[in-house]
Structure 1
Amino acid sequence: MTGHNTQQNPLLAPSELDHELPDFAAISVEDLVPTFRTGVVDHSAEIAAIVANPEEPTWENTMDALEASGQLLDRVLAIIFNYSGTDASDDIVAAEETVAPELAAHISSVNLNPGLFARVSSLPPQPEGSENEALLTYWLRRFRRGGAALDDAGRTELSSIDARLAELSTRFGRNLVAATEAGAVLFTEEGDLAGLSDSHKSRLAEDAAAAGQDGWLVRLGLPSVQPVVEELDDPAARARVHEASLRRGSGGDADNTEVLLEIVRLRARRAELLGYANHAEFIAEEETAGSLVEVDDLLGKLTPAAVANAAGEYKKAVDKAGSDDSAGAASGVAGSDWPYWAAKLRAEDLDVDEAELKKYFPLERVLRDGAFFAARRLYGITVERRRDLDGYHPDVQVWEVREAEDDPVRPGVPIGLLLTDMYARPSKRGGAWMSSFVEQNNLLGQMPVIVNVLNIAKPAEGEQALLTPDEVATVFHEFGHALHGLLSDVRYPSLSGTNVPRDFVEFPSQINENWALEPEILANYARHVDTGEQLPRRMVDAVRAQAAWGQGFATSEYLAACWLDLAWHRLSAREAAAVTDVAAFEKDALESAGFGADVLPALSPRYSSTYFNHIFAGGYSADYWSYLWAEVLDADGFQGFVDTDAARGDEGGGRPGAVVEIDPDDVRFAGDRFRRMILSRGATIDYDDAFWMFRGKQRSVAPLLHRRGLAGSMDVDGLGR
């Protein structure tokens, strides 16, 4: 993206590139805020015109007009918010911080517009099960939850809260980016890096040089546990990295303490103003889980079993550390040590050299011959590189998605574009996600332009990025989100693609992860980077076993974060105002949930409060549990691909490590059903009904328990529906 453009602002009109891909090279940073403000003015005028229309409200002059409004605003916001996560220059950061509160105020003005509310409310009920009914329900719920029924004083206060929350969430995210970058650990003695491969050390040296420093620089990722601690032999080196990870956002110029406390207080007050007991109750209303009661039931029954398994894993790590004579063995196993000794145990149990294993997962093959190949087998689509189209950064690749040439109905018809942004860089937020520049909708005839973002370490010049099994799963996961956006086929933008409840949005992405280990798919992409030989059977078995290994720790650190999220967002306005010590609150919340230091002395939640981006700067507030709920759907729902008549269910299915033998002739049949019933429908469906139709029965938690190794640790009665 250029710093200045003397030509006409390309955002003022739809892009003339294929599928309205933004002309990134022509977009000026200086134009973003002025264009945003023009977009707000234009959208406000469009809303005013709908309200002032002298004709009686009809579907066309009200709902169609409402959904078609704000196109300029959508275009510029897609640029700002995508860039703020992927290439956050100082100018982009400043633009986002300027735009966030003004956007919140504008959204409030729409939600609180009495004339628009009255006009939409006057429309007659729409046919049951229709897209029109779904859209009307969406807007009426949006008005109600947006405060349309409040009095003037309430509307004013709510608008002020929304604007301030937007400002604070943006600040939290920016602080975290700064704290994460500042928290990078510089090693100046190569001996401290014992345990790392030469190629890994070379990457760390390149990162240090890029930062203008001598030595080896370990940059931090989002979670508490940094992957590098699994490899560092020196306990002091592990401790330096782990402690740097845990203290992010809790001091210095990028301190998030007061930011998150104000967010919690304002969310609690907002919920109270709208008639809810707390923010968690406000959020749960829209989720497919139905209520906090069901969430508590699931988390409450899983936690003791997960903690018991984790305690057993911790004891094995302690025993391993105590019996190991190698350098680095030490008395006691701290939080920085547990992953290291667990990795040693995993290598012994699975009998695999993980550095050698990565050579069978070069990124390009995983993407092309894995994720894209699976999509062709399942949904009859092709994904081909468009070298004539440019992304927003040199690392970004652009792909065109089409129906297959042999498709009997729409041979070779374009579906949309996919942008892949795979490599980490200092200006990019940590983690992995999917977003969009254009959302599919038939109202405006727009095809989707979807983005997949990961943070894989960029290889040295001339080398290929080699992935861990977890990174392979992430590629498939994020492409599952992309498929949800790409294969959407709805009329209205508000209902398109991934615009569904949080506990359903993860369902298609987690379903897609299963295909990474499906025999036909795995055999197609898991080939040695140098020789091209297939992954040996012994290593295939190890990869499958690895997916089920150490689930006590993985489940416990995740559940701890879920309980922490809910603890913050269950506070009433009065209770939130009384909290001043973040560390003390977090300690009490974890102890109450069963994760006290006396139970698991070396376990931290996957994210602690000051760097919990999902809930304070992302869209998962009071909703981090949605990943687990979606996994309930996934572990059970994947049997819909195995049992292609969708009528019988194996309660022990969906287990990573289990070989899923699916008749190749049935794969496309099941894929077409999933595309038709789930992926193409966006938010136009009743989610429980859609799951039931695909699966052939109501969801059950039993497959999830088998997957996570908890089935033998608990009574599962009553956990299904």
Structure 2
Amino acid sequence: MSNPLREPSLLPFGMPDYAVLTAEHYLEAVTAGIREQEAEVQAITTAAGEPTFENTLVPYALSGETLRRALQAFYNVKPSHGTDDLLDAAAEIQSLVTEHHDALHLNADLYARLAAVDAGDLAGEDARLREEILRAFRHAGADVQGTDRRRLKELNAELTQLGSTYSRKLLAGQNAAAVHFEDLVDLTGLSESDVASAAQAAVDAGYDGGYLLTLVLPTGQPLLDRLTQASSRKRLFEASVTRGQAGEHATLDIARRMAELRAERAGILGYSNHAEYVIDAQTAPNLEAVRDQLATLIPRAVENARAEHLALEQYAGLPVHAWDWAYYSGLVKQERYDLDQAALRPWFELNQVLEHGVFEAARRLYGITCHERFDLPVYHPDVRVWEVRNGDGSALGLYLGDFFARATKAGGAWMNSIRDGIGAFGELPVVTNNFNYAPPAPGTPSLLSLDEVRTLFHEFGHALHGLFSEARYPQLAGTHVPRDFVEYPSQVNEMWALHPELVAGYARHVETGAALPDGTLEKIEAAALWGEGYATTEYLSAAVLDLAWHSLGPGETVEDPLAFEDEALRDAGLDPDLVPSRYRTGYFKHIFDGGYAAGYYSYIWSEILDADTVDWFTENGGLQRACGDEFRSQLLSRGNTRDPMDSFRAVRGRDPRVEPLLIRRGLTD
């Protein structure tokens, strides 16, 4: 069949023609792309003469272009608009890709030829390419022999299938767990906009009436801070935390099985557990260093959370349960700091925040501008496209924004690259940001919470990391950096969310156009540490849970996933009854089908770098072009073309210090 993915797209920036692409196109292009790369590898392994950088490493690095093109287009649309036909194709595509990657990395002739390339004359990005390619081969089992090699392929195949099943059940379960209310009184406390969105969601889900509160991926649901009825809060909270535990959408046994298989695979690869295997390729020195860092933070965070809980119960005059926490925390914040965050939403209209906040910060720092385009095909009508240009007017890339939740979209927020900025191909980047903001009722504006504003800045930080890529090779481009480094640039970008000059431009009342009331930013700053005990503890709980599942040794089994989860948290000094984990085993997509297995710690690890870099920006003038140009040239554009920690040192002038993070999160003595 004629397949648009078999050749480079003729659309601007190589944008895939999503208007015509079908599940069959993706599957056929992946299959053909695998065959093409097999032929390219065969040519490398049978080439005459001694292996050199030019005749071996470069051809391998640039091989598989059809496959890369097809997979990047597919891996963008699958979580964003996973219709049934795409989800059906996904299982086969992922199985094909896993089998192909095993065949590549376990190809003894290919590995031998790559390893034989003399590193003596290589420097800079070329030396880094050799280092990273060989590391990837060793990490995939290139040194494994005999029956272990066959078992490794079996494990990879089963894990791929299980991950796909987990993700599909999670999405279906999340949709099924949405809470339907018949009576408007149950939604007391919600704004007119919230109620209208809930009414529309009920209609979209097929209800004859009433109101539907859909779920987002984390435990904490956005409306818990506004629902005044405790019974409504409890229903919404329990729907969230029980996802995946029973019924047709159960995921617990899948998660357990995946953790056990990962442990077995780690043993074959020479590691004590999957966490050691993963962290061996990260910027963290080893698993013990990560555990020590978490162990240092946990008692301080829990102490702060207990103090916050006591204050909530003193305010409420009754027991405050997990489902009550966000509600009463908001009331205490309002009383102590005269700050009602829910009441700020009319000042945070999505388009205003995006164009006059997020884009404006990037213009001031990096000189780039964003120009919306309406002539490019997108995979869903909600998706918007901007052309991004450098300060001199030259093209930088495309930015796609997909802002609203829908039944076909995975929960959470994330960034993807549809095309990387790769010098060897003359390719400019095409990047996407996905969010799950509640879709507004027709004809009404989309109003964001303060946390959602920060998320918008955060994800655009990932987008900048991809857009600024100046690597020559795909393996080193953009966000292809260690997992515990990739969150760092995006976290830094959050610092601009409440910059006074930017807020003055974007925080305008949606009806009157009025600026934020005087003193609001000062109140937000004064209240910054309130709630950090809870926020830090719920995050650390998820990081501990991730490492617990992935510290299983080969042959270890788990009989009861929920009991295992509870024991792991309590043994670490956490109290899941007081502060539930941000994600529980039943809906922890990050680690069971999201690439963060044994890597969820990376958010706090990256935040150490982030907090230190925020100080650097502040010390050097803040929202200034000189700071932005330095950060872009020394870090954002570098990707993995050198050790990412060398890029950090090039900016900061030294190794990172943890003190700025401790101060930020209220964890100092």
After superposition, give the CA deviation of every residue in 1:228-255 in whole Å (9 maximum; x if it has no partner): 1211122111111111111101111111
For 1:421, the equivalent position in structure 2 comes to 402
For 1:255, the equivalent position in structure 2 comes to 250
The separation in 2 between residues aligned to 1:414 and 1:126, in whole angstroms, is: 37
The separation in 1 between residues aligned to 2:301 and 2:200, in whole angstroms, is: 40
The separation in 2 between residues aligned to 1:29 and 1:260, in whole angstroms, is: 27
After superposition, give the CA deviation of every residue in 1:594-616 in whole Å (9 maximum; x if it has no partner): 1136xxx3321110111111111
How far 1:643 moved relative to its partner? 2.3
Q: Which of 309, 319, 330 is the matching residue for 2:314? A: 319
For 2:301, the equivalent position in structure 1 comes to 306
**What is the one-letter code of the residue matched to 1:524?**
G
How far 1:627 moved relative to its partner? 0.2
- 2:480 matched to 1:504? no
For 2:626, the equivalent position in structure 1 comes to 669
Distance change (3 Å), C-alpha of 1:129 and 1:705 = farther
For 1:589, the equivalent position in structure 2 comes to 568
The separation in 1 between residues aligned to 2:593 and 2:169, in whole angstroms, is: 10
- 2:322 matched to 1:346? no
How far 1:572 moved relative to its partner? 0.2
Distance change (3 Å), C-alpha of 1:356 and 1:235 = closer
| 2:417 match: secondary structure | strand
Could you tell me whether the CA contact under 8 Å between 1:134 and 1:684 is conserved in 2?
yes
Q: Which of 389, 399, 419 is the matching residue for 2:386? A: 399
For 2:375, the equivalent position in structure 1 comes to 388
For 1:516, the equivalent position in structure 2 comes to 497
Give percent identity, aligned residues only. Answer: 44
| Bigger relative contact order, structure 1 or 2 (CA pairs below 8 A, ≥6 apart) | 2
**What is the one-letter code of the residue matched to 1:321?**
A
| 1:344 match: secondary structure | helix
The separation in 1 between residues aligned to 2:526 and 2:405, in whole angstroms, is: 28
| 1:276 match: secondary structure | coil
After superposition, give the CA deviation of every residue in 1:608-641 in whole Å (9 maximum; x if it has no partner): 1111111111111111010001110000112221
After superposition, give the CA deviation of every residue in 1:396-450 in whole Å (9 maximum; x if it has no partner): 111111111xxxxxx2111111111011111111100000111111111111110
For 2:665, the equivalent position in structure 1 comes to 708
After superposition, give the CA deviation of every residue in 1:172-207 in whole Å (9 maximum; x if it has no partner): 111110110010010112121111122211110110
| 1:359 match: secondary structure | helix
How far 1:663 moved relative to its partner? 6.1
After superposition, give the CA deviation of every residue in 1:97-145 in whole Å (9 maximum; x if it has no partner): 1111221111010010111101111101155751011110111111111
Could you tell me whether the CA contact under 8 Å between 1:126 and 1:132 is conserved in 2?
no
The separation in 2 between residues aligned to 1:128 and 1:640, in whole angstroms, is: 33
After superposition, give the CA deviation of every residue in 1:313-350 in whole Å (9 maximum; x if it has no partner): 0111111221xxxxxxxx42221112221121122223
- 2:160 matched to 1:160? no
How far 1:158 moved relative to its partner? 0.8
Alignment of 1:205-604 (within 5 A): 205-213=199-207, 214-322=209-317, 331-404=318-391, 411-575=392-556, 577=557, 579-596=558-575, 601-604=577-580
After superposition, give the CA deviation of every residue in 1:162-181 in whole Å (9 maximum; x if it has no partner): 11111111111111101100
How far 1:485 moved relative to its partner? 0.3
For 1:716, the equivalent position in structure 2 comes to none
Could you tell me whether the CA contact under 8 Å between 1:390 and 1:398 is conserved in 2?
no
Deviates more, 1:136-145 or 1:347-356: 347-356
The separation in 1 between residues aligned to 2:282 and 2:640, in whole angstroms, is: 12
Q: Which of 603, 606, 620 is the matching residue for 2:582? A: 606
| Structure 2 alignment gaps of length 5 or more | none
After superposition, give the CA deviation of every residue in 1:344-398 in whole Å (9 maximum; x if it has no partner): 1122223134343111111111111111111111111111111222321111111
The separation in 1 between residues aligned to 2:378 and 2:120, in whole angstroms, is: 41
Q: How high is the TM-score relative to the length of structure 2?
A: 0.98
The separation in 2 between residues aligned to 1:620 and 1:518, in whole angstroms, is: 31
How far 1:697 moved relative to its partner? 2.2
For 1:634, the equivalent position in structure 2 comes to 610
Could you tell me whether the CA contact under 8 Å between 1:333 and 1:602 is conserved in 2?
no
The separation in 2 between residues aligned to 1:693 and 1:33, in whole angstroms, is: 43
Could you tell me whether the CA contact under 8 Å between 1:372 and 1:383 is conserved in 2?
yes
The separation in 2 between residues aligned to 1:318 and 1:263, in whole angstroms, is: 40
The separation in 2 between residues aligned to 1:688 and 1:29, in whole angstroms, is: 40
How far 1:80 moved relative to its partner? 2.2
How far 1:287 moved relative to its partner? 1.2
**What is the one-letter code of the residue matched to 2:607?**
E
Could you tell me whether the CA contact under 8 Å between 1:129 and 1:685 is conserved in 2?
no
The separation in 1 between residues aligned to 2:198 and 2:527, in whole angstroms, is: 26
- 2:592 matched to 1:616? yes
The separation in 1 between residues aligned to 2:443 and 2:555, in whole angstroms, is: 59
Could you tell me whether the CA contact under 8 Å between 1:390 and 1:397 is conserved in 2?
no
For 1:687, the equivalent position in structure 2 comes to 644
How far 1:288 moved relative to its partner? 0.9
Could you tell me whether the CA contact under 8 Å between 1:517 and 1:544 is conserved in 2?
no
| 1:426 match: secondary structure | coil
How far 1:27 moved relative to its partner? 1.3
The separation in 2 between residues aligned to 1:517 and 1:294, in whole angstroms, is: 33
For 2:174, the equivalent position in structure 1 comes to 180
Could you tell me whether the CA contact under 8 Å between 2:368 and 2:390 is conserved in 1?
yes
How far 1:546 moved relative to its partner? 4.4
Query: Across the two proteins, how many residue pairs are aligned to each other?
Result: 668
| Structure 1 alignment gaps of length 5 or more | 1-6, 323-330, 405-410, 645-661, 713-721
- 2:80 matched to 1:99? no
Q: Which runs of 4+ in 1 moved over 6 A?
A: none
Distance change (3 Å), C-alpha of 1:546 and 1:395 = farther
After superposition, give the CA deviation of every residue in 1:263-295 in whole Å (9 maximum; x if it has no partner): 011100111000001000011111112112221
Q: How high is the TM-score relative to the length of structure 1?
A: 0.91
**What is the one-letter code of the residue matched to 1:65?**
P
How far 1:32 moved relative to its partner? 2.1
**What is the one-letter code of the residue matched to 2:47?**
N
Could you tell me whether the CA contact under 8 Å between 1:441 and 1:492 is conserved in 2?
yes
**What is the one-letter code of the residue matched to 1:194?**
T
Distance change (3 Å), C-alpha of 1:353 and 1:642 = closer
The separation in 1 between residues aligned to 2:200 and 2:667, in whole angstroms, is: 42
Q: CA RMSD in A?
A: 1.4
Could you tell me whether the CA contact under 8 Å between 1:357 and 1:539 is conserved in 2?
no
How far 1:687 moved relative to its partner? 2.5
How far 1:707 moved relative to its partner? 0.5
Deviates more, 1:187-196 or 1:586-595: 187-196
For 2:119, the equivalent position in structure 1 comes to 125
The separation in 2 between residues aligned to 1:677 and 1:293, in whole angstroms, is: 30
Could you tell me whether the CA contact under 8 Å between 1:469 and 1:543 is conserved in 2?
no
The separation in 2 between residues aligned to 1:107 and 1:536, in whole angstroms, is: 56
The separation in 2 between residues aligned to 1:443 and 1:199, in whole angstroms, is: 49
Distance change (3 Å), C-alpha of 1:68 and 1:157 = same
Could you tell me whether the CA contact under 8 Å between 1:303 and 1:559 is conserved in 2?
yes
The separation in 2 between residues aligned to 1:693 and 1:29, in whole angstroms, is: 45
How far 1:29 moved relative to its partner? 2.4
| 2:519 match: secondary structure | helix
Alignment of 1:61-210 (within 5 A): 61-126=55-120, 130-210=124-204
